[in-house]
Amino acid sequence: MTEVSFKKKLTDNRKIIVMIKERQFEWDENQRQTNIVKHGIDFLDVQKMFNQWNLESIDKKQNYDELRYNAIGLMDGRVVVVSYTYRNHWQTTRIISARKATKHESGLYYRRFPH
């Protein structure tokens, strides 16, 4: 089991930073709670996906003020899509949202990584 350690920064935006192995994650705590209610997926669980193979693409749906990515990967036996960006010169992965993959997205994942 992966050891998770928490470092909390007390700021107005309630940023949470989590280290897993050598990878650092962060997110807005209010967004995490919203994601749990809306999609039933906790950002704490999503981190496991990044320790496995996943399909990554640049999110070009709209013009963000930052470069955003979407990753399709396996988390606890189900295929999910995670939107994220990098901060601190690529040292921190900031999770934006996570949801269950569509049938099409699941198909893309399983065609690339058959189980």
The CATH number of 9-112 is: 3.10.450.530
- Regarding pTM above 0.95, the answer is no
pLDDT tens digits along 35-83: 999 999 999 999 889 888 889 888 877 777 778 999 999 999 999 999 9
pLDDT tens digits along 22-35: 678 999 999 999 99
Helix (H) or strand (E) holding 55: strand 54-58
Contacts 24+ apart (CB under 8 A), 69-75: 72/101, 72/105, 72/106, 72/108, 72/109, 73/49, 73/109, 74/49, 74/109, 74/113, 75/41, 75/45, 75/46, 75/48, 75/49
